[in-house]
Amino acid sequence: MATAKWLGTASLELEQDGEILLIDPHLSRLNKRRTFLHKIRPDEEKIDRYLGEVKGQIAGILVTHAHHDHLMDAPYLAQKLGVPVWGNESVDTFMRLHGLPGCPLVLQGGERFNLGPFEIEPIKTRHGLVMAGRVPFPGQINPHSRPPLWVWEYRHGMPPLAVLVSAGGQTLFHLGTANIIDNLLPRRAVDSAWLCISGYNYTPQFCERIADKIKAKRFIPFHFEDFSAPLAGKMSYIPGCDPKAYKEKQLACAPGVEVIIPKPYETIPL
């Protein structure tokens, strides 16, 4: 059975038959002081600790957009594991800035490709509004930058992507930022829909629009926690991102579905 494991933020570890796909792996979780007062680097000790506990073979990494909490750890992981990274143009740029191969395929949305047992279908979307109702750090990563970068140099890249992943007869929808482009989002039945709810209240009728297109057995909110703190103990939420409040709204427009608030590192069917 294909499974998903939440690693915090929009990070998922998908596993099927011992092979693993990482989506938006962010393990460093730098505190606010390190994030905003210094150029930022991955916390290699945290990443190595995670890798030492992985049960399976990581086959590749998919990054849905290029903000630091989705992309920063990817070069270190890719170099240590010797695996490819897929993403948009800014993801490709960032990998090359680290002297690594660019993406095997620079994603625009609408492609389909396979990685081991995983069939992957990226979908073009737009970034949600977050800070004071604005898109944080829009645009592309400067190809003439020199790592390490300041947090604001992690431009989200174009386009941000949602993604459908199928494995073992199951399908997962991953939305790493709380916005969609209605006419580009296919109407699709899926087993689980993992939805970023950071800033979802700024997106008009977010729950209704998702439920209209994505017919999920399970809706699972994520990217709601303060990711400048460790992913342990009592979580504090990003303002306006209480997953229990989201659950009530999603159930109101999609009665009868299951809404699961995930626990860190909990294994959930794909």
pLDDT attached to residue 233: 74
Residue 159: is the preceding peptide bond cis (ω within 30°)?
yes
Contact present, 104 and 61 (Cβ < 8 Å): no
pLDDT tens digits for 188-205?
999 999 999 999 999 999
Residue 149: band (very low, low, confident or very high) from pLDDT cuts 50, 70, 90? very high
pLDDT attached to residue 268: 95
pLDDT attached to residue 128: 96
pLDDT above 70: percentage of residues in the chain: 100
Residue 107: band (very low, low, confident or very high) from pLDDT cuts 50, 70, 90? very high
Residue 131: band (very low, low, confident or very high) from pLDDT cuts 50, 70, 90? confident
pLDDT attached to residue 234: 83
Contact present, 59 and 47 (Cβ < 8 Å): no
Q: How many CA atoms lie within 13 A of 185 on its CB side?
A: 21
CA-closest candidate to residue 77, choices 93, 104, 98: 98
Residue 211: band (very low, low, confident or very high) from pLDDT cuts 50, 70, 90? very high
Q: How far is CA 228 from CA 26, 60, 194, 237, in A?
A: 11, 26, 21, 11
Q: What is the mean pLDDT of residues 48-66?
A: 97
* Domain 3-269 of CATH type 3.60.15.10: yes
